[in-house]
Amino acid sequence: NTISDQDVEEMFELARAVALEAGQVIRENFYKDKVVDTKMSAADLVTETDQAIEKMVHTKILAKFPDHKFIGEESTHETHKHELTDDPTWIIDPIDGTTNFVNHIPEVCFSLGIMVNKQTVIGIVYAPIKEELYTAKLGQGSYLNGEKLQASKIKELKQAVILFEGGASRDEQILQDKLKNVHSLFTNARGVRSYGSGALSICNVAAGRGQAFFEYGLHIWDFTAGNLIASEAGAVVTDPSGAELNPLRRRVLVGCSAEVAQSLSKVLTHLDMGWD
């Protein structure tokens, strides 16, 4: 698939517009009582607002780009793996941080990444309660509310603040390995933070608010947009092992510098979380 600069601009315009609309829906519902459902575990929530936003966005994308593919968290069934093709594919998480959303914690966002030939060309993350709009186009830098982003220049893990997420799995072996990693963070890094939104954590690294993020067990819709925003801000995005990221492999490491990424990779236990 070849796409022109003009195509990118057209997709970006729609992406930005739907992100702002999704944000408006999140804002309107933020303090309301919610109808909450659980999915895989009691730690895995979905609300009517997640579903309504995903439907709204999907409809608008199809109306303008009927041939484009769509991967959305709430229309993906646990038993069906989705396939990622070379076609232009809109990858969305209607609300990242649903547990925060249910608990009135402002760390929530809408996340939208567009891949063409399996490469991310556009990333938009909008956190409507904090009024933060992160945008990126491949090769053109990334921005927070229009201001250009630059990740931290720190190289030493011992000077780094590491953002991590525990994820929704409650499998005992997985939890044991994740605990080892938490121990390792406290041993090797300066500080540890966990905000409850993978997408916003990656954007925080892009914005110089901490030096690295990693998670085992998240999905393609959690990191596709954020990863472009981070790499366009000078951060390094890899598989936690240091290998090239596979967007379907459910794990990611984002370091502000190659040095921090490598040092962090070395001190982590690498969990195999299966595939999307």
Please choose, out of 63-71, 180-188, 216-224, 232-240, the segment that lies near ligand IPD by the rule CB under 6 A. Answer: 216-224
* Residue 133 tokens, joined: 């709009």
User: Was 222 annotated as part of a binding site?
Assistant: yes
Asked if 98 is part of the footprint of ligand IPD (rule: CB under 6 A), the reply reads yes
- Active site positions, annotated: 73, 93, 95-96, 98, 222
Length of the chain: 276
User: Was 95 annotated as part of a binding site?
Assistant: yes
Asked if 233 is part of the footprint of ligand IPD (rule: CB under 6 A), the reply reads no
Q: Which of residues 61-80 bind ligand IPD (CB under 6 A)?
A: 73
Which of 74, 165, 232, 276 touches ligand IPD (CB under 6 A)?
165
- Choose from ligand IPD, Ca ion, none: what does 217 bind? Cβ within 5-8 Å by kind: ligand IPD
Q: Which of residues 66-95 bind Ca ion (CB under 5 A)?
A: 73, 93, 95
User: Was 9 annotated as part of a binding site?
Assistant: no
Which of 20, 138, 168, 192 touches ligand IPD (CB under 6 A)?
168
Q: Which residue from 226, 15, 206 is spatially nearest to 120, judged by alpha carbons?
A: 226
Compute the least distance from the CB of residue 2 to ligand IPD, in Å. Answer: 33
Instruction: Write each residue from 193 to 232 as x if it is in contact with Ca ion (CB under 5 A), else as -, in one continuous string.
Output: -----------------------------x----------
Which residue numbers belong to the known binding site for Mg(2+)? 73, 93, 95-96, 222
